Amino acid sequence: MPAFVINGPDIPEKLLEAHEGGKVIFFCGAGISYPANLPGFEDLVGQIYADLHLTMTSVEEQAYESKRYDTTLDLLERRHPGKRLAVRKALASVLDISQVNKDAMVTHKSLIQLATNRTDNKVRLVTTNFDRLFQQVISKDSLPIPPYSAPFLPIPKKSRWDGIVYLHGLLPDSIDEIALNRLVITSGDFGLAYLAERWASRFVTELFRQYTVCFVGYSLNDPVMRYMMDALAADELLGESRPEAFAFVDYCKKEREKTKSEWEMKGVTPLLYEVPVADKGNHSALHDTLREWAATYRDGVQGKEMIISQHVSNPPNAPSKTDYVVGRVLWALTDELAAKHFANLNPVPPLEWLGPLSEKQFEYDDLLRFGVATGCNEINDIQFSILHRPSPHTCSPWMRVVDDGSQSSSLDGVMLHLLHWLTRHLNDPNLIIWLANQGDCLHERFIGLILRRLEELDHFVANNEKEKIDFILANAPNAIPRPAMKTLWRLFIAGKIKLHSHINPQSFGLYDWIGSLKREGLTPSLRMQLREHLAPCVALRSSLNLFENIQVQSQSLRIKDLVNWKLVLNSNYVHSVLNDLSQIPAFQEGLPSLLQDSTVLLRDAMDLMRELEGANEHSDLSYIHRPSISDHPQNGDFYDWTALITLVRDSWIATVQDNTVVAKNTAENWWLQPYPIFKRLAMFAATYGDIISQKKALNWLLEDNCWWLWSSETRREAIRLVVYLAQILDVPEIVELEKAILAGPLREMFRGTLKEEEWIRIVDKDIWLLLTKFGDAGGKWSETANARLSELNKKYPDWKLEEDEKDEFTFRIMDSDELHEYSHSPQDMSELIMWLKKTVDRRGDDDWQQRCREDFDTTSHALLALARQNTWPVERWKQALMGWSEDKNNNTSWSIIGPVLNKAPDEIISSLPNEIGRWLQVIAKSFNGQEKIFLNLCQRILEQEYIDEIEFNDSLNTAINRPVGIVTEALLQWWFRRKLEDGQGLPAELKPIFTSICNTKIDKYVYGRVLLASHAVTLYRVDSNWAKEHLIPLFDWNSSTEANMAWEGFLWSPRLYRPFMADVTRSFLDGAMHYGELGNCGERYAAFLTFVALDHGDVFTNEELADAVGSLPINGLENAARTLIRAIEGAHDKRKEYWTNRVIPYLHNIWPRNMAFKESNIPDIFAELCVAAEEAFPLALEELQDQIKLPNHSYYLFDLMFKKKLCTNFPEECLYFLNLVVDNQTQWLPKEFKVCLDEIKKASPQLATDHRFILLSELARRYARY
């Protein structure tokens, strides 16, 4: 809600938005003419009596004292000898403007500017004044604005109205009895206009129905307001509704709330400004506000493109549109041109804007702004976002009984531009994670944009177009995807990324499939349907170490460093379905026909894993996901994809009964597949009767230097095969096997960092296990083997075979320099609790965290059971809280876990501050109930002691990863859920917490202060007194040792709110001298300082701003110059006005013109600034011609000149420009340079003989690349 001047009225965002959209009508009263010394209604009546040399009768005086001025004049007209004409002539005399100074009409000029619709350039304004001040401005400036004088009024609809409506009539140029009699001034006139003939009330009613009305220059007791409000009230009684109305309203000190409530009772939202008690006629705050507002509107400063230019280069402070910046940006992005500007802006808006763009913050009333027609019955609970919203009818697909599969809706311009913006972030894993969380089927238009973008980028790389690549990366660092990201995009485009949700709609189709199976048997069509249900795909989550990993700008980053992926199937709960199918005879009978299909599906699954760098010919980790091919309690069935293994196994077993030749060939083919899972299946098959010969089975174990005998990947099945072979191998075959076992595993199968004693123990254990298992199964070893076994038994007397073959499931995973064993968490609750107790210090070597993500009920109740026993496995809680922080069902986790953590011992809270804080941060956005527990948990984390070395550089990023900062952000998120209003004050439960955080004597709260500083404007607007006392002092460079950190927080997403800036003026300007201390935020400071200087209003002087800008280092000035480009681009179709009224004064009065910039990038930037000025290009060139040179990314400059048609519209100036920036020393020119020359010649053929054109053409012929 910006205030354009200090102590001026705040203008609500919704009024600004409606005004920018051409939906506001300014309704002007007598107050706007005060600067011209014209009276209000009260003084007007008095001056009419004076002009007529009359005094009031007692009845007239009584009406006058009762503020019924219209009645007073009615009584006067009735008794005066000259009747109506004499009184109205006196009126004309009083309102004579022949001696009015032109400066007194600034407000009228401003209102005409504000009333000019940006779309069609038409003026629509209403006034109840009779004076001719508006006509004076129109005449002086030769404006084509027609007047409409009562009672001849237009219909107030956009298509049928253009001009100024004098609702109560307009004084004629000269005395005209008819025109004077038409003036609505007496109570009789008002009665005719509003009650009897009702032409005025009809106009007002329709006006309010079509537009948002803003009253200017009225008092509450003005008869005009009384009659209008009565007319509207009568229509509302008949069921008419109207948009919100606004009024500029003055108040004296201590009367603010009273004045506010009086206007609100009339159904009008007051825009309050204070007038001095000693000078109640001083309405300078109103007139200055209108003047500043008109200037910003004229120059496009509040336009949608300018909002984009100012605010989107930094990440949003909060996703909610209750945040001022977010609300303004979301409003701007409802416009297609603004969305295009957003998508093409350099540097690219950060991906964090996905948060606000995907939050459901729009409701039924917002549908029209997206072109969606609304019906009579409101759908009050509809909510949508910019990226997920109802389609306008022009984009909606037709309703059909059958279609060709292309029934997705078309995309409107806004959506297409936003998709283009997303393609500038193809190297950011967060984008693909976000997409995977939204759905699993990209829109065909988005797929096309991605493919074209990848093709374009590959073309640049293949042709070594380094300049273009450098330019792209300079403005969009994540535009070019690394190889791992390209793989993920290929999978997404291929439809292999699945929505990560607990319930997949296709799962219900699988149960329908069972019904069809029971009725029809396993027909070919049902078999193909099953194949679709069981097709493998990938579910994605964010990597826990993503932030650290993406800081490594390396092409060698692997997929697992970027995303946490999991192999899944198209349908969920497949294990449960297979259990049900095992009871259906039709399925059992059809199992042999599924052998080939299931094998192909499993191969597809492995290929998919290989694509994701999760499988190769030696490893696929299937032994972790499915420890045993045969049924075994160790098989947890946590992963749906492992159902494919079961299906392959069962269909093979069924095939054995049906066709042993096919079964044999299939098993032998499995062994040839390049993945361990198929080796395991083949080994399993070798233990099944005599399908596979013992010789072949032995050869499989001895193949590749006995790799598969010793590999952890095939350990279980290899041991089972050794046990099986113990009874059937002949002596020569036993000798072969014995030799292989005694030799032990290959050293190359383990990392070289393994310590020697650990290596010896591993080899001994593996040899001992195979020798023992073989002997126990009835196998006969040689004396040598038995001697070795005896030796090992003596050396390790504690080694015993475990029950239920558990020793065959000891999975070794190498992590850094250590070996760890991987285990599965039990499914049974009691066993899970015991397992948690036993593995209290384990971390990362089991599936606990994954289990917490997938199974909240079981994992939470297990930890709660331990908590009741006062057992708190800290590492397990850490993993659980991290998993639950991703849970979309936050209210469930809050209601169960919140009370438990609230009672946790202090040592547990101190061990889990980050994890609890992150969880609170997530649930803060949506939880319901138990707020006291939430606040208490936050307070307990704040009370812990933290030993952290303060990071003065990049303090905000540090803050959001420290416990105090995390909890502060959680508290802010919870607060933002409320409807915040100016001046409402901080909630009683939050104020003491925030006050304590702001206490600089408490060092540990420093990162909390950074977070509060980042929301300084919001805190100031809600509770300015608190902010002035506790928050604003943090920004003072002279008194605060943390000023740089406070400013870094503020500059994360800065905003120009003049009352706040007035209170930090000196500190803000001093920031230029502390530019280096701002670290990475220095660039943002320079940009914000530039936007402030371009629209400084009455907060700063040119001299103050010139000193600050002049104190910036060269790189700061370069950033300021680049900001001028963003600003002029944001002015859109007002670039010429913006250049004249904003940039020129900035360059003349603020920019340091006496400094030498030749060795900097500023001349390059100024050259781009000239081109960005578009229709103001000639003016910009004239101003900057001595300060420009060819930029490094020259192709972009020339390409922009062509696309903006500068060479066509300004051929002479463009030739002059090219001659300035291209000299004889140039050794390389992009092909776009030649295109510009061709356009100049086409637009102005005579320039082809100009010596400059000839010289440049020769340079193009020699050096331009084609």
Shared-domain flag, residues 47 and 120: no
Asked whether residue 304 carries a pLDDT value surpassing 90, the answer given is no
**Mean pLDDT within 1120-1130:** 94
The mean predicted confidence, pLDDT, of the chain is: 88
Residue that terminates a domain, selected from 254, 283, 298: 298
User: Higher confidence at residue 668 or residue 1155?
Assistant: 668
User: What's the structural domain count of the chain?
Assistant: 5
In a domain, 616, yes or no: no
Same-domain status, 921 and 793: no
pLDDT at residue 816 in the model: 37
Position 1056 scores a pLDDT of 86
Overall residue count recorded for the chain in this entry: 1266
* Per-residue pLDDT tens over the stretch 863-916: 999 999 999 999 999 988 988 887 555 567 888 899 999 999 999 999 999 999
pLDDT at 488 over 90: yes
The predicted-structure confidence for 171-218, as pLDDT tens digits, reads as follows 998 888 899 999 999 999 988 998 888 898 889 888 988 899 999 999
Which pLDDT score is estimated for 502? Answer: 46
Instruction: Please check whether residues 850 and 706 belong to one and the same domain.
Output: no
Which has more pLDDT, 1225 or 973? 973
- Are both 190 and 209 inside the same structural domain? yes
pLDDT at position 1106, please?
A: 95
pLDDT at 814: 38
Quickly tell me which residue has 């201390």 as its tokens: 1077
For residue 146, CA distances in Å to 105, 167, 681 come to 18, 14, 89
With CA atoms as reference, report the closest residue to 1136 among 1196, 1199, 1203, 1210: 1210
The per-residue pLDDT for range 1149-1158, each reduced to its tens digit, is: 999 987 777 7
Mapping DSSP to helix (H, G, I), strand (E, B) and coil, where does residue 673 land? coil
List, for residues 1211-1221, the tens digit of each pLDDT value.
Answer: 999 999 999 88
State how far the alpha carbon of 356 is from the alpha carbons of 92, 411, 834, 922, in Å: 56, 20, 44, 15
Give the pLDDT of residue 4: 82
Q: Is the pLDDT of residue 570 over 70?
A: yes
Q: CA-CA distance, 1129 to 1138, in Å (whole number)?
A: 10
Q: What is the percentage of the chain residues whose pLDDT exceeds 90?
A: 56
Please check whether residue 393 lies inside any domain of the structure: no
Q: Return the CATH number at 139.
A: 3.40.50
**342 CB-near residues (< 8 Å, 6+ apart):** 308, 312, 332, 333, 349, 417, 418, 421
pLDDT digits (tens, 9 = 90+) for 786-799: 999 999 999 999 99
Where residue 659 falls (left for φ over 0; alpha for ψ -120 to 50; beta otherwise) is beta
Q: Are 720 and 806 contained in the same domain?
A: yes
Instruction: Check: CB of residue 1149 under 8 Å from CB of residue 1102.
Output: yes
Interval 329-352 mean pLDDT: 91
The reply to whether 182 and 231 lie within a common domain is yes
Q: Containing domain of residue 738, as a range?
A: 693-824
Report the pLDDT value the prediction gives residue 787, as an integer from 0 to 100.
94
Given a cut of 50, is residue 495 above it in pLDDT? yes
Q: Per-residue confidence at 223, pLDDT binned at 50, 70, 90?
A: confident
* Residue 430 to residue 563: CA distance in whole angstroms: 8
Contact 127, 166 (CB under 8 A): yes
Residue 406 has a CB neighbour count (10 Å cut-off) of 7
Residues 207, 158 contacting (CB under 8 angstroms): no
What's the CA gap between 202 and 66, in Å, rounded?
A: 28
Which has more confidence, 73 or 299?
73
747 and 839 co-located in one domain: no
Residue 184 lies in a domain: yes
Which is more confidently placed, 1090 or 758? 1090
Per-residue pLDDT reduced to its tens digit, 953-1007: 667 778 888 899 999 999 999 998 888 888 889 999 999 999 999 999 999 999 9
Pairing outcome for strands 245-251 and 383-384:
unpaired
Instruction: Flag whether 137 is in a domain.
Output: yes
Q: Kindly report whether the peptide bond that precedes residue 347 is cis, defined as omega within 30 degrees of 0.
A: yes
| Final residue of a structural domain among 792, 807, 824 | 824
Do 45 and 107 fall within a single domain? no
Q: For 526-535, 781-790, 846-855, 1123-1132, which range has the lowest pLDDT when averaged over its residues?
A: 846-855
Contacts for 502 with CB less than 8 Å, ≥ 6 apart: 572
**Residue 607 burial by Cβ neighbours in a 10 Å radius (0-12, 13-18, 19+):** middle
Output the pLDDT for position 239.
59
The values of phi and psi at residue 1025, to 5°, are: -65, -45
How far are the Cα atoms of 35, 296, 807, 961, 1231 from residue 291, in angstroms, in the given order?
13, 9, 85, 45, 48
Residue 868 lies in a domain: yes
Give tens-digit pLDDT for 113-157. 999 998 888 999 999 999 999 999 999 999 999 999 999 999 888
* 324 belongs to a structural domain: yes
The reply to whether omega before 151 is within 30° of 0 (cis) is: yes
Q: Give the pLDDT of residue 819.
A: 42
The Cα–Cα gap between 1253 and 1246 comes to 10
Cα dihedral 1152, 1156, 1160, 1161 in deg (nearest 10): 60
Residue 1262 covered by a domain: no
The least confident of 108-112, 405-409, 1087-1091, 1128-1132 is 405-409
Q: Give tens-digit pLDDT for 244-294.
A: 899 999 998 788 889 999 888 888 899 999 888 778 788 999 999 999 899
- Determine the angle formed by the axes of helices 41-51 and 69-79, rounding to 10 degrees: 20
Q: Cβ of 327: how many Cβ atoms within 10 Å?
A: 18
531-545, 629-643, 747-761, 830-844, range with the lowest pLDDT: 830-844
Domain edge (last residue) among 824, 856, 878: 824
Q: Are residues 190 and 328 in the same domain?
A: no
Q: What is the dihedral of CA 1068, 1069, 1073, 1079, to 10 degrees?
A: 30
Radius of gyration of the chain, Cα coordinates, nearest whole angstrom: 39
- Sequential DSSP letters for 1057-1093: -HHHHHHSHHHHHHGGGGGGGGGGGHHHHHHHHHHHH
Tokens of 474: 């300079």
Asked if residues 120 and 81 have their Cβ atoms less than 8 Å apart, the reply is no
Mean pLDDT value of segment 549-561: 65
272 vs 33, 321, 1071, CA distance in Å? 19, 24, 33
pLDDT bin (cut points 50, 70, 90) of residue 676 is very high
| pLDDT class of 683 with cuts at 50, 70, 90 | very high
In a domain, 62, yes or no: yes
Do 771 and 897 belong to one domain? no
Do 111 and 180 reside in the same domain of the chain?
yes
Pair 21, 46 in one domain: no
Measured distance CA(613)–CA(629) in Å, rounded: 23
The answer to whether residue 58 scores a pLDDT higher than 90 is yes
pLDDT at position 830 over 70: yes
Contacts of 175 (CB under 8 A, 6+ apart): 89, 92
* Residue recorded with tokens 């992590």: 815
